Amino acid sequence: MRIFSGRRSVFASFFLVSFVLACNIGLAEEIESVTVSAIPLNVNEAGSSVSIITKEDISARGFPSIQSLLREVAGFAVSQQGSQGAVTQLRARGAEANQVLVLIDGVEANDIAQGSEFDFSQLSTSDIERIEIVRGPQSALWGSDALAGVVHVVTSGLDQKERAQLMFETGSFSTKRVSGISQKNIGDHWLRISGDYRDSEGTNISRVGDERDGFRNLNLGISGTWSFSDVAKLDYSIRHIDRETDFDRFDFFVTGLPADAENRTDSKYLYAGLSLEQEFSETLNHSITFNRTDSDNETIDADPVNDVTKGTKDVFKYQLNYISALQSFSALLEHESQDYTQSGQASFFGDPNKRLKSKTKSIAAEYRVSPGAFNISASWRVDNNTEFENANSWRITANRQFSAGSEVFVSAGESVKNPTFVERFGFFDTFIGNPALEPENSFQWEIGFRSTIFDDRLDIAATYFKSDLKNEINGFVFDAGLGQFTAGNRDERSDRSGLEIEVDYYLNENFDISLSYTYVDSDEEGFAGNRLKEVRRPRHVGSIGAIWRLENAGLSVNASYTGEQGDDFFPPYPPFQERVELSSFTLVTASAYYQLNDSLSLTLRLENIFDEEYEQVFGFRSAGASGDLGLRLSF
């Protein structure tokens, strides 16, 4: 993972559009970019906390899924409901999982049919080129879901060399995996096709019994760029994900914990983006973008009628950019429509069958100016939503560069998070939505520094942050009249603050060490009016890793620590809701490869080497020690 300061030749090319749009068509392979601004920006000018996981980092770590990589990122807390393939949430700086926007090749991937969260277990790492992370309030650029930050997964557009690769793996828990990538230049057209299939019998996630909870996951992707003139290009991307995940049903009558059951969730996702960019001159360009996110989730259990939720989000954007040496200005018009469908069996408590729609019209702008060693930006956005009052979001950043390789940055902003369809109208075994919910509002600020010293061999970054969340939505309010849980806005604020530290040390071209540490203090109003730590926000999170490269081999070792954290337990007896403590745990992983010849290599991955027993969500056992052996063919 890379952190950034002024000495590194890094270029941040990220527009406020739904696909990666670089002003210069055909960016060089070594150039890195971040999701930090509406226009191209050198990273040492950024006024926000930024991390990038590179293609080299991903290959060296060898993890098959993205959540293991994100455990190493400062400011993040990862929670998985059991073993591999289970639902995985990510929280940034103590915020909720649905307050972090996830982009896949610029397409908004948060699932409106699942509480506007993104399940990170669905995404394979086999064709990821880079993961760009910007922490802090980003709603002024990206809208409601980006209250606490943005995670942008880039699978195309960086490495446009012709190549092909196949990989085969087998390992613990009867796990099998096959993946492939092929990319080719055809005249003015660059095309990339990828696929990844993973199947596992899994492990038993409940505390009792021996029934395994497995999964099957298929990722298919196609993307390309057609440069039909020197000043215009068309980018497109389509990703289809088809998956099955076993899960255990809660025992609501005896233990209140997961118990063995032959249940599963079948999910299908589509992420599609199309964007056209044209340059009028060296200082003026514009772009038109359309993207679609579509999800279909079916829960299959013993009930006569399966529960189904579907969500479709269509986004159309137009952006105009003016860029000069001293200043720049970007203006954005956006139209977003959402379509949510829920179906199931009606009961005494109500009818879950619903189809709901909403629309949002937005206008946004960003102004940047760079007088001398200063870099200053101001962003502003107005959302006109059919369901809520007009909302304003803003962000101001400043960056001051000192000696070569060092800079200090500060930012502040206000973001709005709209209630989700599930929070307002959801209907499940023990939950009924609340259509009277109001949007959440957050004010956040941060101050930090980045520095590169010792001849570019040591990168250091540290950031202090603080945020106050008003109208926080509590999804576990017990309604005695209904005899069920519902959602409600809290009267008290949720306070979040902390410190992030990232260090990269490059001993030489063959060996480097990375370190990250996060301290988060996140509390909310308790059941009795007292202040409690918010659930699944460990106060201390850290990781340390090392990568060793030889001429024809490589080794990566990483240890990640997750401190004690609270969670909610819902027993079948009064008071029906309790705050419990999850123990801390440390996971040690290792991966290695050996290059047999120019096109063939062997891979080995070991996870949870010391067979740590732990829970990331109360009542859900995580997997023990495992290993996978693979064969990689490149041509």
What is the spatial distance between Cα 217 and Cα 198, in angstroms, rounded to a whole number?
Answer: 5
- Per-residue pLDDT reduced to its tens digit, 496-549: 999 999 999 999 989 999 999 999 999 887 656 677 889 999 999 999 999 999
pTM of the model: 0.92
What is the spatial distance between Cα 213 and Cα 356, in angstroms, rounded to a whole number?
Answer: 33
User: Interior CA angle at 134 toward 130 and 136, to 5°?
Assistant: 165
Question: Would you state the structure tokens that stand for residue 565, as one six-digit string?
Answer: 């954290």
What is the spatial distance between Cα 468 and Cα 476, in angstroms, rounded to a whole number?
Answer: 21
Higher per-residue pLDDT: 13 or 128: 128
User: Helices (H) and strands (E) in the chain — how many of each?
Assistant: 4, 40
What is the spatial distance between Cα 174 and Cα 171, in angstroms, rounded to a whole number?
Answer: 6
What is the spatial distance between Cα 601 and Cα 64, in angstroms, rounded to a whole number?
Answer: 17
With pLDDT > 70 as the criterion, what percentage of the chain qualifies? 92
- Per-residue pLDDT reduced to its tens digit, 283-309: 999 999 999 999 999 988 866 667 899
Contacts of 280 (CB under 8 A, 6+ apart): 231, 286
What is the spatial distance between Cα 626 and Cα 619, in angstroms, rounded to a whole number?
Answer: 21
pLDDT at 329 over 50: yes
- Per-residue pLDDT reduced to its tens digit, 17-60: 332 333 332 322 333 555 677 887 777 788 899 898 988 889 88
Per-residue model confidence (pLDDT) at position 309: 93
Question: Would you state the structure tokens that stand for residue 339, as one six-digit string?
Answer: 């379509």
Per-residue model confidence (pLDDT) at position 157: 64
Q: How many CB atoms lie within 10 A of CB 113?
A: 26
- Per-residue pLDDT reduced to its tens digit, 586-624: 999 999 999 999 999 999 999 999 999 999 999 999 999
What is the spatial distance between Cα 576 and Cα 250, in angstroms, rounded to a whole number?
Answer: 14
Give the phi and the psi of residue 596 in degrees, each rounded to 5: -75, -40
pLDDT at 198 over 70: yes
Per-residue model confidence (pLDDT) at position 588: 97
Per-residue model confidence (pLDDT) at position 526: 65
List the single range of 250-259, 310-319, 368-377, 442-451 with lowest mean pLDDT: 250-259
Q: How many CB atoms lie within 10 A of CB 575?
A: 10
Judged by phi (left if over 0) then psi (alpha if -120 to 50, else beta), residue 23 lies in alpha
Cα 67 → chain centroid: 9
Per-residue model confidence (pLDDT) at position 352: 81
Judged by phi (left if over 0) then psi (alpha if -120 to 50, else beta), residue 187 lies in left
Contact by Cβ (8 Å): 294, 269: yes
List the single range of 237-246, 341-350, 451-460 with lowest mean pLDDT: 341-350
Burial class (CB in 10 A: 0-12, 13-18, 19+), 220: middle
Contact by Cβ (8 Å): 526, 534: no
pLDDT at 100 over 80: yes
With pLDDT > 90 as the criterion, what percentage of the chain qualifies? 69
Q: Which domains are present in the chain?
A: 11-634 (2.40.170.20)
Per-residue model confidence (pLDDT) at position 22: 32
